[in-house]
Amino acid sequence: MTKLVRDLMHPGVLTCRKNATLGQVAVLLTQNHIHALIVADRDNRFLGIISDYDLMAGEWLSVNSESLATMRSLTAADLMSYPIDTIEAGKTLIEAAHTMIEKDINRLLVVDHDAPAGVISISDFISSIAREEKARRDTVADVMSDAILVCRDKTPLISAARTMTQAGWRSVLVVDSKGQPQGVVSGKDLMPFVENGVNEKLTVREVMHPVLTINIHASLREAADQMIHNHYHRLVVVDEDNPKTFPLGIISSFDIVAEMARPGSIWQA
């Protein structure tokens, strides 16, 4: 059955007042874990949309105290995009995607019989794609994370820890100046520092553990086997046909468990 915009949208619309400062908008975005807000007037009429990208103008243009003061005085209404691009809730996802691609925009206000009903964004499409990953689950390629959190070997440990926290990742791949993997720093590697804190001069090179690799075409069972036998929680996924190239991803024990928990997986039948 064809999926409609109303099936994927985030119901409800989060708004801010037109005179909200950029700092206030930033707080609202962060608190609600969203990338944009609808800007509304006192009568809740929608005027425009302001995104995290728009807010970046604050940092971008604050080159001195004078421009910082100017940017701090700007309001949501000053930086919002308008008019707001809308789509009917009953339109198909394909139509929504085409509109966003054609207009080069990241989100649409969803209206149902002219009344605001929600927002559909690129993030919704991404999560949709993630949910619709193919049912086949017998290789590393099917469940690994293609995106990798990476840092250089001279990165301060405290900086790596902060980035892991901000990104919500439990490990970071350590590479040298040529991008070759040198090791992995995981949450477990950081545990010894919980009690006494981290020396600011300590680098990831001094606490990382060696990399274990696995071929992208290996089966999940092989991955699980390697993890269990080596007591590792994650493996760096490589293309064994091109061993010198940058890793293709990381597969963790969590990825395998998540695959097991996925509705429709063989473990949930």
Partner 1 sequence: MAGSSIGMGEQDSVERDKFENELKHILKVSDESGILLRVIGALAFQMHCPKYGYLQHALGRAYTDIDFAAYARQTKEIQKLMNALGYQENHEVFIVSEGDRAIYEKPEAGLHVDVFYEKLDFCHVIHWEGRLEVDTPSIPLAELLLEKMQIVQINEKDVIDTIMLLLEHPLGDHDRETINIQRVAELCSSDWGLWRTTTMNLEKVRVLAQGYAQLTAEQKTEVDSQVKAALARLDQEPKTLAWRLRARVGDRVKWYKEVDEV
Is 7 or 78 the residue whose CB approaches partner 1 more closely? 78
79 near partner 1 (CB under 8 A): yes
Smaller CB distance to partner 1: residue 9 or 71? 71
Q: CB nearer to partner 1: give 55 or 238.
A: 55
Could you tell me if residue 264 is left (phi over 0), alpha (psi between -120 and 50 degrees) or otherwise beta?
left
Does 70 interact with partner 1 (rule: CB under 8 A)?
A: yes
Residue 108, number of CB atoms within 10 A of its CB? 24
Number of residues that bind partner 1 (CB under 8 A): 14
Chain residues 102-121 in contact with partner 1, contact rule CB under 8 A: 104
Could you say which of 34, 74, 141, 198 contacts partner 1 (CB under 8 A)? Answer: 74
Least Å distance, CB 77 to partner 1, is 10
Q: How far apart (Å, rounded) are the C-alpha atoms in residues 173 and 253?
A: 16
Q: Given the complex with partner 1, which of 74 and 97 has the nearer CB atom?
A: 74
Q: What is the DSSP string of 32-66?
A: HT-SEEEEE-TT--EEEEEEHHHHHHHHHH--SHH
- Answer whether 221's CB lies under 8 Å from 231's CB: no
What's the farthest any 2 CA atoms get from each other in the chain? 64
Residue 53 makes contact with partner 1 by CB under 8 A: yes
Q: Which residues bind partner 1 (CB under 8 A)?
A: 53-54, 56-57, 60-61, 66-67, 70-71, 74, 78-79, 104
